[in-house]
Structure 1
Amino acid sequence: MTFKTIALDIEAGVARLTLNRPDKLNSFTTEMHAELRTALNSIQNDPSVRVLVLTGAGRAFSAGQDLGDECMQAQEGRMPDIGNVIEQFYKPLVMQLANLRVPTLAAVNGIAAGAGMSVALACDLVIATRSASFLQAFTRIGLMPDTGSTWFLPQRVGMARAMGLAMLADKLPAETAAEWGLIWQCVDDAAFASTVATTAERLAKAPTKALVRTRQSMQASLSHSLEQQLSLEASYIRELGWSPDYAEGVSAFAAKREPQFGGK
């Protein structure tokens, strides 16, 4: 597939999806959203893919929505319906990531601002360079956080820090983001590429269904009672206990060898 605003490369089970508008700090446009939908659908339907790595080209992960895009322009003298932009583009994007059949890794190579930060947080794991930063830029233009940030932030850093990040719109260094538990890991810029590659390889070789059920269980726990969560765990464990990957895992453990999971 040929894209104008993104790039997709699939090799050895790793799908690397790159936001590719470096001159515009990889800000989102209507065209980019359409291409992302196509790429994520392709990944969802490709059995060879075992993990998605989402990153940005150039010096940014993403600066968020491109305010110059057609969807943000006034029509016949009326301000655009920005809520419709969320419903039509960002909600489907976040839900595609949340429901992808493989684990997702955001490789944040630079600034992740506004919806760019939200999209990174929609991934299962986030690894960032030490020079990267995160910014809830919404109040700087008279808006509030969207694209899931009002859901992600309180969960990960608590209400006090979530409110501070959202209301004050201060830039958060990647190192602090890792210390707060907002992201999984912050690494030196020189080690970033190798760390992302190694992590992606580990995820690609892991029991894919077990990883996705782990994601789904963690998400469900936010609205479940303990009893409900225990029942959900039993249901998922029952399913995974009949899987080829579980059989392989037990066999490898007994033989004291590394398991060769097939993602099934």
Structure 2
Amino acid sequence: MSYERIHLSIEDGIATLTLDQPKTMNAMSVPLQQEVMAALDEIAGNSDIKALVITGTGTGKAFCSGADLGSMSPDSDGPSLGTQVKNLMEELSNPMALKLRELPFPVVSAVNGAAAGAGASIALAGDVVLAGKSAYFLFPFIPKLGILPDLGATWILPRLIGRAKAMAVSLLGERMYGEDAVREGLIWKCVADEDLQSEAVATARRLAAGPNHAAPELREAFDRADTASLAEQLSYEAERQQELIDSPTFQEGVRAFLEKRDPKF
């Protein structure tokens, strides 16, 4: 499939999805979201893909500036703007965010500039998030627009940095630059702007060499842990270990350990 607002490339088992709508700082227009969703559908069923890198065009520019506010206008003959946005979220935006988080392989977010609003939500949906030194995360929903953070931000922010910091970040709407994002536990690593893409691809290759089920298993386990008691989580771990230890992956891992080599999954 050909795309106009994104680029999708696949090389050596690594897919790279690049948002490319620079005039709007990669704002989440409906056409861009449709292309992202189509690309995620395309790669989700490709068994040759072992990891995904998602990023924006250009070094130090923009990962994604969030909702395309310039395209929003009420329809005098139809439902209210709020109703239109709700319908769009249910039909496209939310399924896109869920699809990204449910891919059967690890996702590396390479945040190369502003990740604002829904753009920050998309970035933080990655399993491993890296940012350039000049990149920043911004949640302007409440202080600038009087609306809630969305595309999963209210779910993921308190899980990453705790409720107190999530409240402050959302209420104050201050920029959190790469190094601060690492220090606060929002993301994994901050690197020089010029090194971001190579570091992201290198990280994706490391992840691709791991067990095929690693990312889905860990997502499920950590998500369950948020609401489970310790006893419930211990029981879940034992159940999953029963199946995973009987798998060829574990057997290869043991052989590699005994033979003092890297496993080949």
Give TM class, smaller chain.
over 0.9
Q: Could you tell me whether the CA contact under 8 Å between 2:63 and 2:119 is conserved in 1?
A: yes
In the alignment, what sits opposite 1:76? 76
The answer to whether structure 1 residue 201 and structure 2 residue 209 are counterparts is no
The yes-or-no answer on 1:248 pairing with 2:252 is: yes
CA contact (8 A) 2:105 2:214 kept: no
Distance in 2 (CA, whole Å) between partners of 1:232 and 1:110 is 39
Q: 1:103 aligns with which of 103, 106, 109?
A: 106
The correspondence for 2:65, drawn from 63, 66, 75, is 63
Which residue of 2 is the match for residue 47 of structure 1? Answer: 47
Match of 2:90 among 87, 109, 113: 87
Match of 1:116 in 2: 119
The Cα shift of 1:157 comes to 1.1
Instruction: Say whether residues 1:175 and 2:179 are aligned partners.
Output: yes
Q: How far apart, CA to CA, are the structure 2 residues paired with 1:105 and 1:122?
A: 9
Match of 2:261 among 246, 254, 257: 257
1:211-249 CA distance string (max 9 Å, x none): 320121011111111122122212222222232222211
Partner of 2:7 in structure 1? 7
1:156-180 C-alpha deviation (Å, 9 max, x unpaired): 1112211111111111111101100
Give the equivalent residue in structure 2 for 1:188: 192
1:131 CA displacement: 0.5
CA distance in structure 1 between the partners assigned to 2:32 and 2:243 by the alignment: 37
Structure 2: runs of 5+ lacking an equivalent: none
Conserved in 2, the CA contact under 8 Å of 1:109 and 1:128? Answer: yes
In 1, distance between residues paired with 2:260 and 2:205? 21
Partner of 1:137: 140
Instruction: Verify the 8 A CA contact 2:110 2:200 in the aligned structure 1.
Output: yes
Distance in 1, matches of 2:33 and 2:239, equals: 35
Is 1:225 aligned with 2:229?
yes
Map of 1:28 onto structure 2:
28
| Distance in 2, Cα, partners of 1:226 & 1:43 | 36
Aligned length: 259
Deviation by residue 1:111-131 (Cα, 9 ceiling, x = unmatched): 000000011111111000010
SS in 1 for 2:159: helix
Does residue 161 of the first structure (1) align with residue 162 of the second (2)? no
Q: Percent identity?
A: 41
Q: Does the Cα contact within 8 Å between 1:209 and 1:240 map onto a contact in 2? A: no
Note the alpha carbon deviations across 1:114-159, whole angstroms, 9 max, x for none: 0000111111110000100000011212212111111111111112
Shift of 1:85: 2.7
Unaligned 5+ runs, structure 1: none
For each residue in 1:71-111, what CA deviation from the matched residue of structure 2 results, as whole angstroms up to 9, or x when unmatched? x3211166412222322222111211221111111100000
- The aligned amino acid for 1:163 is M
Tell me the SS of whatever aligns to 1:128. strand
Instruction: Give 1:188 deviation, angstroms.
Output: 1.4
Residues 53 and 201 in structure 2, CA contact (< 8 A), matched pair in contact too: no
Contact kept in structure 2, 1:178 and 1:185, CA below 8 Å: yes
TM-score normalized with structure 1 length: 0.94
The CA distance in 1 between the partners of 2:56 and 2:258, in whole Å, is 42
